[in-house]
């Protein structure tokens, strides 16, 4: 049974079921989402490989080959047809744009699929729904999101919101928020936190401010289950889990916020994804799947859903390891004699050269592991996605290397694309920058650059240039 089968069996059927990754009913065989390509404006619905199965992402790759695609619609798999389209202007934000369709490549069920990566200015909505709770009715919801692509801006939400895209007052929203945004200080730990956006506040408890000392957030977990349920009258609960293993943790279960307007709730029944209720859209986030139910699901049903999510095996690469085939996981080892135990690694968002040893920490190993992807600007070249930060890629900016989320722009795509060739020293592999083809991925003083063989910058130094730009493509450090 899949999540909406489990919730239906528990007497709380889904009234919305959205995913770019998989069917949420065992019997679902319709489309998951629609993409539109830049070259000619044509659209295509992306469906499933099999009934009740996973997204046919290869159809997207074929349709978008040689151009770029954005996601224009996310279909509701429930019989309610509460489909999400790109969100229009609201009280606090101009109309949104669609998310790039290839920004968040992940594996699920052993298949390469795509998640939805929301950057600022992106969001989806349905202001005219069927079956979604209104005016104090009970509802539940969960989404699978990521703790590695979050920020403190308002408001990465999935759930119930206003039908006019404006802030119409306390209790007019009931949505899961997942962010490092601490609305009511103090918050505890670094977040990101699973919170309830009940309008005019992101609540971790009823206290009128967060004051939830037991909730320190999930930290940078790559896949997170975030769950909210609200009886609409006098009680709500928040849970989170690692979407790759284990069960759910309840961070709050208790009364509605004590300020006026939340007891009872005044939900309006629109569905928002990626912004606040008033289309505040400075937030970023990731979305793989999510549902909303009629009525409060039982804890047993939530646990069964979490077990099903875990069984998906959300993860990183597919296929071989240690090769430059797309889908392979690799580590890149320096070949210069100084540094043959050092690897390309991200640290504090920057690309650096760093020693990694088998006795070293798991963090070092994950940070030094990259998933080979088809080049974001040119499919005959390559891009390198971070193993532990899904959707973040190695890119240059001002000739220096960084790990950053793919934002879909032509500049990012070019800056994150590298064309492999035989190592310039005669050993290993060199990676020419796609948009600066005379510059190659180079280490210099333990930082990473795209560097030319001689030039005005210190990192263009000709000394050991050929060795510094020649890399040993190696098995991945990450387990």
Active site residues: 199, 278
Angle in degrees, CA 193, 282, 273, rounded to 5:
65
Binding to ligand AHR in span 160-179, by CB under 6 A: 167, 173
Q: For CA atoms 64, 70, 73, 78, give the dihedral sign.
A: positive
Tell me how far, at minimum, the Cβ of 206 lies from ligand AHR, in Å. Answer: 15
Of 361, 367, 406, 366, which is closest to residue 383 (Cα–Cα)?
406
Closer residue to ligand AHR in complex, CB, 13/277: 277
- Binding region for ligand AHR (CB under 6 A) out of 115-123, 217-225, 270-278, 387-395: 270-278
Closer residue to ligand AHR in complex, CB, 94/438: 94
d(C-alpha 137, C-alpha 132), whole Å: 9
What would the two tokens of residue 357 be?
């040893």
Of 225, 181, 231, which is closest to residue 206 (Cα–Cα)?
231
The reply to whether 276 sits near ligand AHR by the rule CB under 6 A is yes
The reply to whether 159 sits near ligand AHR by the rule CB under 6 A is no
Of 169, 163, 204, which is closest to residue 183 (Cα–Cα)?
204
Cross-strand pairs, 74 = 33, 84
The reply to whether 154 sits near ligand AHR by the rule CB under 6 A is yes
- Binding region for ligand AHR (CB under 6 A) out of 193-201, 351-359, 388-396, 435-443: 193-201
- The single residue among 202, 312, 317, 376 that binds ligand AHR, judged by CB under 6 A, is 202
Tell me how far, at minimum, the Cβ of 159 lies from ligand AHR, in Å. Answer: 10
Binding to ligand AHR in span 280-299, by CB under 6 A: 280
Per DSSP, the three-state class of 347 is: strand
The reply to whether 181 sits near ligand AHR by the rule CB under 6 A is no
Tell me how far, at minimum, the Cβ of 42 lies from ligand AHR, in Å. Answer: 34
Nearest residue (beta carbon) to ligand AHR: 276
- Tokens 């993860």 appear where? 315
What would the two tokens of residue 176 be?
């899961």
The reply to whether 199 sits near ligand AHR by the rule CB under 6 A is yes
Closer residue to ligand AHR in complex, CB, 268/392: 268
Per DSSP, the three-state class of 178 is: strand
The reply to whether 92 sits near ligand AHR by the rule CB under 6 A is yes
- Sequence-distant (≥ 6) Cβ neighbours of residue 335 within 8 angstroms: 423, 425, 427, 428, 467, 470, 471, 472
The reply to whether 385 sits near ligand AHR by the rule CB under 6 A is no
- Binding region for ligand AHR (CB under 6 A) out of 271-279, 387-395, 403-411, 467-475: 271-279
- Binding region for ligand AHR (CB under 6 A) out of 10-18, 200-208, 295-303, 458-466: 200-208
Tell me how far, at minimum, the Cβ of 371 lies from ligand AHR, in Å. Answer: 33
The reply to whether 129 sits near ligand AHR by the rule CB under 6 A is no
- Binding region for ligand AHR (CB under 6 A) out of 54-62, 113-121, 198-206, 240-248: 198-206
DSSP 389: S
Angle in degrees, CA 158, 370, 242, rounded to 5:
35
| Backbone region of residue 5 per phi and psi (left: phi > 0; alpha: psi in -120 to 50; beta: other values) | alpha
> What are the Cα distances from residue 235, in Å, to 107, 254, 265, 272, 470?
36, 5, 10, 22, 60
What would the two tokens of residue 477 be?
């450090």
Tell me how far, at minimum, the Cβ of 162 lies from ligand AHR, in Å. Answer: 7
- Binding region for ligand AHR (CB under 6 A) out of 115-123, 129-137, 197-205, 355-363: 197-205
Q: What is the Cβ-side half-sphere exposure of residue 173, based on CA atoms within 13 angstroms? A: 33
d(C-alpha 287, C-alpha 19), whole Å: 8
The reply to whether 76 sits near ligand AHR by the rule CB under 6 A is no
Tell me how far, at minimum, the Cβ of 123 lies from ligand AHR, in Å. Answer: 11
The reply to whether 118 sits near ligand AHR by the rule CB under 6 A is no
Cross-strand pairs, 177 = 157, 195
| Backbone region of residue 40 per phi and psi (left: phi > 0; alpha: psi in -120 to 50; beta: other values) | alpha
The reply to whether 155 sits near ligand AHR by the rule CB under 6 A is yes
- Tokens 């210069």 appear where? 336
The reply to whether 87 sits near ligand AHR by the rule CB under 6 A is no
Tell me how far, at minimum, the Cβ of 257 lies from ligand AHR, in Å. Answer: 11
Tell me how far, at minimum, the Cβ of 287 lies from ligand AHR, in Å. Answer: 16
The reply to whether 197 sits near ligand AHR by the rule CB under 6 A is yes
Tell me how far, at minimum, the Cβ of 29 lies from ligand AHR, in Å. Answer: 35
- Site residue total, ligand AHR (CB under 6 A): 14
Cross-strand pairs, 33 = 46, 74
The number of beta carbons lying within 10 Å of the beta carbon of residue 2 is 26
Closer residue to ligand AHR in complex, CB, 94/324: 94
Q: Where are the alpha helices (DSSP H) in 179-258?
A: none
Residues that bind ligand AHR (CB under 6 A): 92, 154-155, 167, 173, 197, 199-202, 276-278, 280
């Amino acid at each position: 049974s899949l999540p909406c089968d489990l919730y239906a069996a528990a007497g709380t059927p889904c009234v919305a079921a959205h995913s770019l990754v998989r069917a949420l009913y065992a019997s679902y065989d319709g489309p998951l989402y629609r993409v539109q390509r830049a070259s000619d404006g044509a659209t295509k619905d992306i469906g499933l490989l099999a009934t009740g199965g996973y997204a046919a992402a290869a159809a997207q790759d074929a349709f978008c080959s040689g151009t770029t695609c954005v996601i224009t619609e996310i279909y509701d798999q429930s019989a309610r047809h509460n489909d999400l389209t790109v969100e229009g202007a609201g009280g606090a934000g101009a109309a949104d744009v669609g998310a790039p369709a290839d920004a968040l490549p992940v594996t699920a069920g052993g298949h390469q699929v795509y998640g939805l990566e929301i950057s600022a200015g992106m969001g989806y909505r349905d202001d005219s729904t069927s079956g979604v709770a209104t005016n104090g009715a009970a509802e539940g919801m969960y989404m699978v999101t990521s703790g590695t692509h979050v920020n403190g801006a308002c408001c990465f939400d999935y759930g119930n919101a206003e039908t006019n895209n404006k802030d119409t007052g306390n209790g007019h929203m009931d949505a899961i928020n997942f962010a490092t945004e601490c609305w009511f200080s103090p918050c505890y730990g670094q977040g990101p936190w699973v919170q309830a956006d009940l309008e005019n506040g992101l609540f971790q408890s009823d206290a009128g401010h967060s004051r939830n000392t037991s909730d320190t957030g999930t930290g940078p977990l790559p896949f997170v289950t975030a769950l909210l349920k609200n009886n609409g009258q006098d009680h709500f609960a928040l849970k989170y889990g690692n979407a790759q293993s284990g069960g759910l943790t309840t961070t709050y279960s208790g009364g509605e916020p004590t300020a006026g307007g939340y007891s009872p709730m005044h939900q309006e029944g629109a569905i928002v994804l990626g912004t606040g209720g008033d289309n505040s859209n400075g937030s970023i986030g990731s979305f793989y799947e999510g549902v909303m139910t009629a009525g409060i699901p039982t804890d047993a049903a939530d646990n069964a859903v979490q077990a099903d999510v875990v069984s998906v095996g959300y993860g990183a690469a597919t296929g071989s390891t240690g090769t430059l085939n797309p889908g392979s996981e690799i580590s890149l080892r320096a070949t210069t004699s100084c540094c043959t135990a050092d690897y390309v690694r991200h640290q504090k968002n920057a690309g650096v050269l760093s020693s990694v040893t088998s006795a070293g920490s798991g963090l070092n190993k994950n940070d030094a592991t990259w998933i080979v992807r088809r080049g974001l600007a040119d499919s005959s070249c390559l891009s390198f996605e971070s193993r532990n930060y899904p959707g973040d890629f190695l890119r240059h900016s001002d000739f220096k290397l960084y790990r950053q989320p793919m934002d879909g722009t032509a500049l990012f795509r070019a800056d994150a694309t590298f064309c492999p060739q035989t190592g310039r020293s005669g050993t290993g592999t060199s990676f020419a920058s796609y948009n600066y083809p005379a510059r190659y991925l180079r280490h210099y003083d333990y930082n990473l650059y795209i560097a030319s063989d001689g030039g005005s910058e210190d990192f263009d130094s000709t000394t050991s240039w050929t060795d510094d730009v020649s890399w040993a493509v190696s098995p991945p450090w990450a387990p």
